[in-house]
Structure 1
Amino acid sequence: MRPDPWTWLMVPLSLLLALVVELLPFPQPLAQLQPPWLLLVVLYWSILQPAILGMAGAWLMGLVLDAIQPSPLGTHAALFTLVVTPVLALQRLLRTLPVAQQALWIAGLVFLYELGELWLGDRLTAGRVTAHDFLPVISTLMVWPLLRVLLHRCERCLS
């Protein structure tokens, strides 16, 4: 599928908006539930327009997040690349799945992302992992259908 010119504008704008939402300070109970917004938008565009974003775009967006957040450089870049790899391999299948099944796939990938963050942050090996660390996976299940519909409608309006 060849992307139209408006999609080339929509992708960076949606990634920038996701980055802003990711960096917004939320109150403590909501901060634990916050899904990885930037990762979700990267996954959305990797499913729909892999020619625009792809592996290099996922790595670059992870690197941008590493530069902004207080994490070791390359942590999010490596995790974004790791999570996007199966999406790019299965993007034709994922594109045809119903939204609920897509949400399950995406939640599984976010689980791997959260597990990787805990491992790279030495919390997994130190045994300081709680159920609260995986709340973003549950919020991803609720947010993915809404995010998918919103981005799809915005893309339709522009084209």
Structure 2
Amino acid sequence: MRKPQGLGFIYLSLLVALLLTVMPMPQAVKLARPDWALLVLMYWTMALPQRVGVITAFFTGVIVDVLVGTVLGVNALAFSVVMFVLAQHHLKMRNFGVLQQSLVLGILLAFYQLQLFWLSHFLTGVNFRPQYLWPALTGMLVWPWLFWLLRRYRRQLKIQ
């Protein structure tokens, strides 16, 4: 049996994304912070769906819940739903250009933000503000560079 390669780098990239998720920022910029962990999970799910999928997304979501102090399971559920949708369509997504991927992932990121709102509204009674969708826009803008960076390292390290 062949030993899987690159699992360490996949987890390292998720760790860096988690650190970017909790990195202190000014309040004005903090509202538009991309969902780094979700973006990195999206890349690995499209690139290696047999290695990174719904279960990895669930556990990463639990870690995000703990790090940012939300109700336990909210991000885990939302990450899992988004990863399930993406995993079902990963072959189509891989055939899209990076800008097309960015648009589709922007829709998935907005869906993630809306799931967070719906769950938070149900659990704590928060009201919707359009600013909740800023991370989806910034995630769309960050995607081409993140895609390029992770793909470069995946090819360089021959991760399969």
> TM-score scaled to structure 2, two decimals?
0.91
Aligned-residue offset at 1:9? 2.0
Counterpart in 2 of 1:100? 99
CA contact (8 A) 1:3 1:49 kept: no
- State which drifts further: 10-19 or 130-139: 130-139
Counterpart in 1 of 2:68? 69
Matches within 5 A, 1:101-120: 101-120=100-119
Counterpart in 1 of 2:38? 39
Counterpart in 1 of 2:132? 133
State how far apart, in whole Å, the 2-side matches of 1:77 and 1:133 are.
18
CA contact (8 A) 1:66 1:73 kept: yes
Judging changes above 3 Å, is the alpha-carbon distance between structure 1 residues 3 and 26 closer, same or farther for their aligned structure 2 residues? farther
Which amino acid is 2:33 matched to? Q
Structure 1 stretches lacking a partner, 5+ long: none
Question: 4+ residue stretches of structure 1 with deviation over 2 A?
Answer: 125-128
Aligned-residue offset at 1:127? 7.2
- In the alignment, does 2:8 pair up with 1:25? no
Counterpart in 1 of 2:59? 60
Taking only aligned residues, the RMSD between alpha carbons, in angstroms, comes to 2.1
Aligned-residue offset at 1:111? 0.3
The 3-state SS of whatever aligns with 1:121 is: helix
State how far apart, in whole Å, the 1-side matches of 2:44 and 2:146 are.
11
Paired-residue identity, %: 31
